[in-house]
Amino acid sequence: MASTMRRNLGLFFEDFAVGDVFRHPLGRTILDADNAWFTLLTLNTNELHFNSAVAAESQHGRPIVNSGFTVALILGLSVSDLSQNALANLGWNEIRLSAPVFVGDTLYAESIVTEVRESRSRPDAGILTCFTRGINQDGTEVLSYRRSVLILKRTRGTANRKFPDPQTSIVTRVGLDQAGN
């Protein structure tokens, strides 16, 4: 008999300890469209991000990726491990852009937990602080920052995860019996 597969619900406050290291599971190759769209959406008028002729005359000889996009991408890569159950980002500190990022680079993220503490104002949550860095396909660190997140405790977090009861089961809907035939 087939079973219903459960998706990973992410980690909760109780799951973290100082020193935990996460090599976040996905890498992401940056496309020209990513850089152009993000630059346009944020009204960034620096032509090094979208004008190949101007960028060709720069120290890098080609367009560089908007650093705001790089920060957002590294943050996004870390969510499944660190903040899937977050209530709020509390802040980013010590953001460092240590190497340029270009279209075609593939970025990965790695984090280490540096502090875990109870919230004084929210008994259903705690505060997680991590140091996160972005690394390109060559292993070069391109970005780093410290981030603090208000994250739910398990008892509160699981209460928000109820899949609605369908009027008809999916097994019945596709005509399978309980044995999967």
pTM of the entire structure?
0.83
For residues 118-130, give the mean pLDDT: 94
Give the CA-trace dihedral at 94, 100, 105, 107, to 10 degrees: -10
pLDDT tens-digit profile of 146-174? 999 999 998 865 555 666 778 888 888 88
